[in-house]
Amino acid sequence: MDRRDATAALFGLGALSAFARPASAQAQAGRVPPLGGAITDVAGVKIGHFTDTRRPTGCTVLLAEEGATAGVDVRGAAPGTRETDLLNPTNLVDRVHAVMLSGGSAFGLEAATGVVRWLEEKGIGFPAGPARVPIVPAAILFDLGMGDHRIRPDAEAGYRACAAATAEAPAEGSVGAGTGATVGKAYGLARAMKGGIGTASVKVGKVTVGALVAVNAVGDVIDPRSGEVIAGTRTEDGRRRLGLTQAILRGELPPALQAGMATTIGIVATDAQLTKAQATKIAQQSHDGLARTIDPIHTMWDGDTMFCVATGKSGVTGNMMALGAIAAQVTAAAVIRAVLAARMVSGAGVPAVPSAAEF
C-alpha cells in the first residue's frame, strides 16, 4: 500500500486509483495531506481566487457557466449569506451559475456582485424578460481581525476572481477566501493558528465528487483517525496545541466571543444528475465531514455553510447513499488539506498566527 492509499484508508475510501491527481506541491510542503484531486475534476466547474495584497483577505468563486443544480445547508448560528433562500427546493429557479466564498464578513458579500457583472457580460443567466439574471449564491467568513478591517473583498475582487477562474487544480492554503482564515480562536487570535482553503476529489465509477472548503473555525482541526489536533487553539505560552474541547472539559472555559467571529464555508460539487432536493441533502451530509475534522463545530460564533452543485455532466443519476457518504469524506479531506497547505501571513497590524507547517 503506497502513501496515498494509506491516507485514503484513513477516510475509508480504499485505493486511490480513481483520484485524478496527487496532492499539490504547495500542500506537500507541509505534512502529507489526505487524498488527492481537486473540485475542478468535476466536469463543468471552474475555480478562481482573488487574493488581496493589502491585507490577508480574498475571495474564491466556483463558476458553473452552463448552469448547475444547487442546494445549501446552513448549520452555524452566525451565517452571512446571499441567495440561499432561492435554493430551497420549493422555490422557482433550479440552477445557479456560480457560488462565491469570501472573506470580509458581511462586507464581503459585495464580491458576488462582481461575479454577477462578469457573468452578465458573458450573456450567462436565468432568462427574465429582456434580461438574463446570473444566479450567484454566496457565503462569507470573518477575517476582519487580520490587518486593516476597512480592506475587504468588493465587487472588483469578485470580478477578478472570475477572470482568473480555470479548470486546473486551484491553489490551496493562504489564498482566496482562505487568505485571512484562522482556527482555534476560542481564546483569541493570540492563541490561534492559521486556517486556509483546501480541495479534494474522488471518482467512483462514472461519477466524480469534489469539495472546496475555506476553514476559519472557532474550533480545532483534528485528525479524524486519532483525534490529534493538527491546527487549533494553543496553550497560553503559545508553544503547544491545547485541545479546545479537552480544555473545556477540564473547566478552562473560554471568554465570551462576539457572534460571527469565525465560520467555515464550502462547496461540494458532482457531475451526477441531481434534483434541488437531492442537492440540498448532499449539502447537509457534507457537514458530517466538517464534524469529523473540526471540534467543536457549528457553534454560536460560526456561520458554517455548505453548498452542493451538480453539473450532471456524467449523465448518471446520482446514487444518494453513495454520494452522501463520499461528500462527507471529500469535505473532511479538504478541511485537512486547507490547514496543511496554509502558511503564516504578515503585514501591518496582522497578528503572528503560525500555521501547522511552521509550528
DSSP state of 358: T
CA neighbor of 215 nearest in space, from 187, 175, 186, 247: 175
How far, in Å, CA of 303 to CA of 260, rounded? 6
How far, in Å, CA of 290 to CA of 245, rounded? 16
How far, in Å, CA of 224 to CA of 34, rounded? 11
- Identify the sign of the CA torsion 79, 262, 101, 32: negative
Residue with cell 452552463: 66
Residue with cell 457565503: 139
User: Interior CA angle at 343 toward 339 and 346, to 5°?
Assistant: 135
The predicted structure's pLDDT at residue 184: 95
Instruction: Kindly report the three-state secondary structure assignment for every residue of 202-233.
Output: EEECCEEEEEEEEECCCCEEECCCCCCEEECC
Per-residue pLDDT of the chain (359 residues; tens, 9 = 90+): 333 343 343 334 433 222 223 334 333 344 445 678 999 999 999 999 999 999 999 999 999 999 999 999 999 899 999 999 999 999 999 899 999 999 999 999 999 999 999 999 999 999 999 999 999 999 999 999 999 999 999 999 999 999 999 999 999 999 999 999 999 999 989 999 999 999 999 999 999 999 999 999 999 999 998 889 999 999 999 999 999 989 888 998 887 666 668 899 999 999 999 999 999 999 999 999 999 999 999 999 999 999 999 999 999 998 999 999 999 999 999 999 999 999 998 888 898 899 999 88
The predicted structure's pLDDT at residue 349: 87
Pairing assessment for the beta strands 96-102 and 138-140 based on DSSP bridges: parallel
- Give the phi and the psi of residue 197 in degrees, each rounded to 5: -125, 140
- Interhelix angle for 155-163 vs 111-121, to 10°? 50
The predicted structure's pLDDT at residue 332: 97
The predicted structure's pLDDT at residue 176: 98
DSSP per-residue codes, 126-158: EEETTEEE----EEE---TTSS-TT----HHHH
The predicted structure's pLDDT at residue 225: 87
C-alpha cell, 186 = 476560542
Burial (CB < 10 A; 0-12, 13-18, 19+), residue 3, is: exposed
The predicted structure's pLDDT at residue 16: 28
Domains defined for the chain, CATH in brackets: 3-341 (3.60.70.12)
- 48 contacts 168 by C-beta, under 8 angstroms: no
Ramachandran region, residue 225 (left: φ > 0; alpha: ψ -120 to 50; beta: rest): alpha
